[in-house]
Amino acid sequence: MGAIYRREMGAYFISGAAYVFLAVFALLFGIFFYNGVIGSGTTETSAMFSSMFIFVLFLIPILTMRLLSEEKKNRTDQGLLTAPVGLWSIVLGKYFAALTLFVIAESLVFIYSIILAVLGDVVWSTLLGNYFAMLFLGAAFIAVGLFISALTENQMAAAVASMIVLFMLYLLDSLSANISNEYIKKILSSLSFYSRYVEFTQGVFNLTSVLFFLSAAFLFNFFTVRVLDKRRWG
């Protein structure tokens, strides 16, 4: 796992994907911070973080699109799959590389909370809760993106498909609002990433939601392992 993790980290910086991701992330966060927080003269960050949902949704595929599709296309997966490592090591190595980059991005924008703390009074628990909410969200989304990357050889297709799938997850809420059947409504709304995320940003720490995001991450990594395993059997 370590070798794959280190290679992926290297590849992010060699290919430039890391710089693009970090730059766009910092830029968007900066704009929202300026407009939503500084502009309104508040230390309340919930609104900013909840609107970041949609940008995380579009940025995560930049990190994940290449991870497995390129391996398949360049036949380098032959090197990985015939090396004495398990499929979980391969998948988790890549997963944690992407997650690390996401953490780096979050650390970059943590500077804003320090700015806030200097300028006014902040409720640290809510503020930190917001950062952690975004981290959990990223952890789940990266697993989804990695899974989709395993399904295709074309990284652009992987990126577009990931964006669509993540966007559908975002739409689950508005979908469930229009459904009259109580059971379906309940199922859809309990699968909603957005409402759980928003709950977090408002300072409510809900252990079920943490578990929800972590299980989503685990589940999609598991699917990715199955996809690699299935390709072997196909």
Partner 1 sequence: MIEVRNLTKRYGDKLAVDDISFSVEKGEILGFLGPNGAGKSTTMNMLTGYISSTSGQILINGADILEDPITAKSNIGYLPEIPPLYVDMTVDAYLGFMYDLKRCKLPRKAHLNDVCNLCKISGVRNRIIRNLSKGYRQRVGLAQALINNPPVLILDEPTVGLDPNQIIEIRTLIRKLGKNHTVILSSHILPEIQAVCDKIIIINKGVIAANGTADEIARSLTNEHKMTLRIEGSTHTAADKQEITNAIKALGGVKYVRADMEREKGIYDYDVEAEEKTDIRRAINDLCRKKGWNILMLQLSDLTLEDIFLKITMGDAASPAGAASAKPAGPRLDLKIENGELVAAEKGSDTPEQKNELMTEESAADMDKSDTDDTTESEENGGEE
Using the minimum distance from each CB to partner 1, give the nearer residue, 10 or 120. 10
6 binds partner 1 (CB under 8 A): yes
Q: How many residues bind partner 1 (CB under 8 A)?
A: 25
Tokens for 106?
Answer: 């979050």
Comparing CB distances to partner 1, the nearer of 5 and 193 is 5
Closest CA to 90 of 78, 103, 100, 74: 78
d(CA 208, CA 213): 9
Q: Are 70 and 113 in contact (CB under 8 A)?
A: no
Question: Of 31, 83, 123, 168, which lies in the binding site for partner 1, with binding defined by CB under 8 A?
Answer: 83
Among 41, 84, 181, 207, indicate the residue that binds partner 1 (CB under 8 A).
Answer: 84
Tell me the C-alpha distance between 194 and 209, whole Å. 11
Residue (of 141, 152, 147) closest to 105 by Cα position: 141
Binding segment toward partner 1, per CB under 8 A, in 36-44, 82-90, 119-127, 160-168: 82-90
Q: Examine residue 19 and tell whether it contacts partner 1 (CB under 8 A).
A: no
Stretch that binds partner 1, among 30-38, 84-92, 104-112, 162-170 (CB under 8 A): 84-92
DSSP state of 26: H
- Report if residue 11 touches partner 1, rule: CB under 8 A: yes
- Using CB under 8 A as the binding rule, the residues of this chain from 21 to 80 that contact partner 1 are 74-80
> How many residues are present in the chain?
234
Nearer to partner 1 by Cβ, of 41 and 75: the residue is 75
| Nearer to partner 1 (CB atom), residue 186 or residue 231 | 231
Q: Which is nearer to partner 1, 158 or 169 (by Cβ)?
A: 158
Contacts of 120 (CB under 8 A, 6+ apart): 43
Give the alpha-carbon dihedral of 74, 80, 86, 91, to 10 degrees: -40
Tokens, residue 145: 């993106």
Residue (75 or 181) nearer to partner 1, CB: 75
- Residues lying near partner 1 in the complex (CB under 8 A): 2-4, 6-7, 10-11, 14-15, 74-86, 232-234
